[in-house]
């Protein structure tokens, strides 16, 4: 079976020209999308890939209607090849069922690999230059969970731990599995002496959110 695929980026654009070209190419069924090509999760494309079987041929009018990049194109073609499905492009004269079409794809593949190599080389050169200038520090390290717990066990507050580790106080609270104190109210913190049945309550004065008093209260049975 010859299966066609047509796509336009927005609903304002018309599929008519592509539909006519695919119909003239003898397509028995045509799948279509009115969506951006930046996503592979296009309803028509997904349905078509599930529909085609061994021996079928997919036809598109132009490559950019089918894939957003050469890398994306070769991933799709590899998937079709594993299913035994051929691929044809009307305007770029590509036909994976012919030796000439396979040669064209091989050339495109070499170009894609060359572009990727150039991109990686530029990236490495940029990183090397940034390191030489002392402005590249790599990916920011994550928070050391064990260190947070150690400092908390020593009695340090979340703010002090955040200052010590150079991170946001909210991140410390998240790792300590407690909520940030509410300004102008009472916020419960984990028990300091659970064996004694005592809980800490931090009372924050509304007029001075930075000042706090800790009141020890016996837990109610």
Active site amino acids: 9
Strands (E) in 92-197, as ranges, are 94-95, 186-188
Two tokens, residue 116: 């990727």
C-alpha span between 71 and 108 (Å, rounded): 10
Beta strand 186-188 pairing with 198-204? antiparallel
Q: Tell me if 3 sits within 8 A of 27, measured CB to CB.
A: yes
Rounded CA-CA distance 56/188 in Å is 66
Q: What is the Cα–Cα distance from 27 to 204, expressed in whole angstroms?
A: 73
In 10 A of CB 162, how many CB atoms? Answer: 20
What single-letter DSSP state applies at residue 36?
Answer: -
């Amino acid at each position: 079976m010859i299966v066609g695929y047509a796509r336009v980026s927005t609903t304002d654009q018309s599929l008519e020209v592509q539909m006519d070209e695919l119909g003239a190419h003898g397509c028995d069924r045509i799948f279509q999308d009115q969506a951006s090509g930046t996503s592979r999760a296009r309803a028509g494309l997904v349905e078509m890939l599930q529909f085609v079987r061994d021996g079928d041929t997919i036809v598109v009018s132009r490559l950019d209607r089918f894939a957003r990049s050469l890398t994306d194109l070769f991933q799709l073609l590899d998937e079709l090849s594993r299913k035994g499905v051929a691929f044809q492009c009307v305007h770029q004269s590509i036909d994976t069922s012919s030796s000439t079409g396979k040669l064209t794809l091989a050339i495109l593949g070499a170009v894609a690999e060359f572009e990727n190599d150039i991109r990686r080389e530029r990236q490495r050169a940029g990183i090397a230059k940034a390191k030489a200038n002392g402005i590249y520090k790599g990916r920011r390290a994550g928070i050391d969970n064990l260190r947070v717990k150690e400092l908390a066990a020593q009695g340090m507050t979340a703010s002090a731990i955040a200052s010590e580790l150079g991170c946001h106080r909210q991140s410390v609270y998240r790792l300590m599995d407690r909520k940030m104190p509410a300004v102008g109210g009472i916020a419960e913190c984990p028990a300091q002496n659970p064996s004694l049945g005592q809980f800490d309550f931090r009372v924050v004065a509304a007029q001075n959110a930075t000042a706090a008093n800790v009141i020890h209260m016996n837990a109610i049975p």
